[in-house]
Copies of this chain bind each other. A is one copy, B any other.
């Protein structure tokens, strides 16, 4: 089975799975629960410092809560490593600082000894009206919360040994405030934990709609050239939010409109006046080429 088939089986057998977080109705609101596994060989390039690892491990889980329009209530982080002593202080500090930057708190975790460094985070959040992946409707507009390329740039800098700047870029701030402010207007939402291309497919499949993206409208970070567009688009691992909403429905914010929702299921990229079909590649764990990082 491919990972995609495994995910389809999970969706069939675990009804609450299949979105960024599980949604658990509780006392007139909804609790959000999510878990994310990162490990050194797949998720942290050589030169990533322990502070950045702890930060990013917490950030990816908080990003899942942001992608539901939720507010975090707490996050836990488990550390498994050959020698706990070495990463401990940096990881703990990074995890705490990221949680604080996102308006929440590191509340606990677990310690374990193993042959490779693993960081596993679990986030708890709340959303009265969680934004699912499945609510997009034809005629709506497609948006991003911000420019792409942060992880791409960071990996380039790691490979060139510019570690301070690379680590800084790798420590993204989860879009909690943005996601929450969109929860009344967005009809569907997902984060870009793999890539924009893959997240477009996620929304398309979950909502049963099509998405047409205009390449020229996708904002890229300064320092990226259009020659690098493919890398960012297919292997980006950025943690901006991708969402849909009716035209004119959004609150004020830094939203970039990048395309539209259509009736036919699928994903298309419009560039140089041409419409090309976007394949859903670059996202299967262990099968990646290119940047090859997973989260």
Interface positions of A (Cβ within 8 A of B)? 1, 3, 6-7, 9-10, 13-14, 16-18, 21-22, 24, 26-29, 31, 33-37, 39, 41-42, 73-74, 76-78, 80, 84-85, 88, 92, 96, 105-116, 118, 120, 122, 124, 126, 285-286, 294
Contacts and interface: CB of A to CB of B under 8 A. Distances in A.
A108 B27 contact: no
A74 B24 contact: yes
Contacts of A105: 16
5 contacts: A14-B108, A17-B107, A24-B74, A37-B110, A116-B116
A262 to B, nearest CB: 30
Contacts of A92: 9-10, 13-14
Contacts of A14: 92, 96, 106-109
A151 B87 CA distance: 32
B17 A78 contact: no
Contacts of A96: 13-14
A153 B242 CA distance: 52
Contact of A84 (B3, B77, B108): B3
A108 B26 contact: no
Contacts of A286: 113
Given A31-B31, A76-B35, A78-B35, A17 B116 contact: no
Contact of A111 (B3, B18, B22, B126): B3
Given A16-B74, A92-B10, A111-B285, A35 B116 contact: no
Nearest to A74: B24
Contacts of A111: 3, 6-7, 285
A110 B33 CA distance: 12
A55 to B, nearest CB: 15
Given A85-B6, A124-B33, A22 B116 contact: no
Given A73-B24, A73-B26, A33 B78 contact: no
Nearest to A29: B27
